[in-house]
Amino acid sequence: MSVARHVCAAVVLSAALNAAWSAESGYPTKPIRLISPFAPGGGASIVARLLGQELLEAWGQPIVVDNRGGAGGVIGTEMGARAPADGYTLVMATASTIVINPLMAKAPFDPLHDFTPVAHATTVPLVLVVHPSVPVKSVKDLIAHAKTSGARLNFASSGEGTISHLAGELFKLTTGASMAHVPYKGGGQAIVDLMAGHVQTGFVNVLEALPQVKAGRLRPLAVSTLVRSAVMPVVPTVAESGVAGFEVIQWSGVMGPARLPQDIVAKWNTEIMRILARPQMRDRLISGGADPGSGSPAQFEVMIKSEIAKWSKTVAAAQLDSRR
């Protein structure tokens, strides 16, 4: 038998043993740790706790949400990658932690080889806003204004390498708009300076922007998803505003370490999809500005690969890669 066949046989045997073990164990038989790689109160932590409450009722075992913030989510995400593949430690992944961070800087994990995709939990639109003093009422106006000599537009983001940063870079690349990036230590600080007029525009979380939009402190121009947001239904998308194909999603999902037994993956995915389909949960997420996720683990993996391919082009074109 060739070396390749020996390796293949070993992999198949390992998968079979893992599946047999988890089936016999009556998983879960003890508390499960779900790592949120951010401080408490953020979107990923809120979703983790919502899922944890529902899973406790379904499985009778506590889901302990372990907030391990730091390094833009890298610390907690690495902990998830290095955990035993036994189904008792998983991690809330986001577009920034799994896709963007490893593209822009050296990361202590490989997003495609060190994790097992489990379930896509939520998608949150960003909204392109401007300070009311900026003389624009639409995306087309903003592009034209940004190309005007002496316009001096700055765009705010919640930090280097965040989804709001990359959204601004993608907007610049696809439209030719001239805007300087101003990073902040979080979305809250960015919005404060946007309201004060210290920066003129930026892509911000739709839920964080909503109160300021209602109060007239920020003017919304478009949302970043391909469909309009349920909490801002009158605001068009960037794509329908003339920037064809423009899409930026701030997603979250559950991932486990590599080689997580497939029956455990299936059990998590089935239960999370059931939870997300419940009317009460859907209403709660949508009212909070998030669209419930959907799909199989394989579809979640395809989405992640597509995001990596997309953002790798943006990072390269904007010369943001600091790994070399």
Identify the CATH number of the domain in which residue 237 sits: 3.40.190.10
Q: How confident is the model at residue 320 (pLDDT cuts 50, 70, 90)?
A: confident
Q: Which of 184, 219, 241 is the last residue of a domain?
A: 241
Nearest-CA neighbor of 265 among 82, 15, 58? Answer: 15
Domain count, the chain: 2
By the 8 A CB rule, do 294 and 123 touch?
Answer: no
Q: Do both 110 and 8 map to the same domain?
A: yes
- pTM of the shown model: 0.82
Q: From CA 65, how far away is CA 45, in angstroms rounded?
A: 8
The residue whose two tokens read 């983790």 is 48
Cβ burial, residue 194 (10 Å; 0-12/13-18/19+): buried
Residue 246: inside a domain: no
Inter-axis angle of helices 262-277 and 297-317, nearest 10:
90
* Signed CA dihedral, 186, 125, 45, 104: sign only: negative
* Per-residue pLDDT, 324: 53
Give residue 87's region: left, alpha or beta (phi > 0; psi -120 to 50). Answer: left
DSSP 151: -
Q: Do both 210 and 290 map to the same domain?
A: no
Q: 43: domain range?
A: 3-123+252-317
Q: Do both 8 and 89 map to the same domain?
A: yes
How many CB atoms lie under 10 A from the CB of residue 316?
A: 11
The better pLDDT of the pair 22, 151 is held by: 151
Query: Can you tell me whether residue 66 is helix, strand or coil?
Result: strand
Q: From CA 314, how far away is CA 3, in angstroms rounded?
A: 40
* Per-residue pLDDT, 321: 77
Nearest-CA neighbor of 204 among 156, 142, 152, 247? Answer: 156
The residue whose two tokens read 């064809």 is 244
Q: Do both 101 and 131 map to the same domain?
A: no
Q: Do both 133 and 233 map to the same domain?
A: yes
By the 8 A CB rule, do 204 and 289 touch?
Answer: no
The better pLDDT of the pair 24, 267 is held by: 267
Q: Which of 209, 241, 273 is the last residue of a domain?
A: 241
User: Residue 24 carries which side chain, given as an amino acid letter?
Assistant: E
Q: Do both 117 and 28 map to the same domain?
A: yes
Say whether pLDDT at 230 is over 60.
yes
By the 8 A CB rule, do 290 and 47 touch?
Answer: yes
By the 8 A CB rule, do 51 and 272 touch?
Answer: yes
Q: Do both 110 and 184 map to the same domain?
A: no
By the 8 A CB rule, do 286 and 206 touch?
Answer: no
What's 116's domain CATH number?
3.40.190.150
Residue 45: inside a domain: yes
By the 8 A CB rule, do 51 and 63 touch?
Answer: yes
* Per-residue pLDDT, 6: 41
Average pLDDT, the chain: 89
Q: Which of 196, 218, 241 is the last residue of a domain?
A: 241
* Per-residue pLDDT, 34: 98
Give residue 216's region: left, alpha or beta (phi > 0; psi -120 to 50). Answer: left
User: Residue 274: which H helix or E strand, with range?
Assistant: helix 262-277
Q: Do both 151 and 70 map to the same domain?
A: no
Q: From CA 120, how far away is CA 299, in angstroms rounded?
A: 9
* Per-residue pLDDT, 150: 76
Q: What is the mean pLDDT of residues 286-315?
A: 94
User: Residue 139: which H helix or E strand, with range?
Assistant: helix 139-146
Q: Do both 96 and 147 map to the same domain?
A: no
Residue 193: inside a domain: yes
Q: Do both 207 and 281 map to the same domain?
A: no
Residue 324: inside a domain: no
Say whether pLDDT at 145 is over 90.
yes
Residue 307: inside a domain: yes
Residue 170: inside a domain: yes
Q: How confident is the model at residue 20 (pLDDT cuts 50, 70, 90)?
A: very low
Of the chain, the percentage scoring pLDDT greater than 90 comes to 71
pLDDT tens column, 88-109: 999 999 998 999 989 988 889 9
Peptide bond just before 135 cis, omega within 30 deg: no
Q: Do both 113 and 257 map to the same domain?
A: yes
Angle at CA 97, nearest 5°, toward 110 and 118? 75
Q: Do both 115 and 129 map to the same domain?
A: no
Q: From CA 36, how far away is CA 66, in angstroms rounded?
A: 6
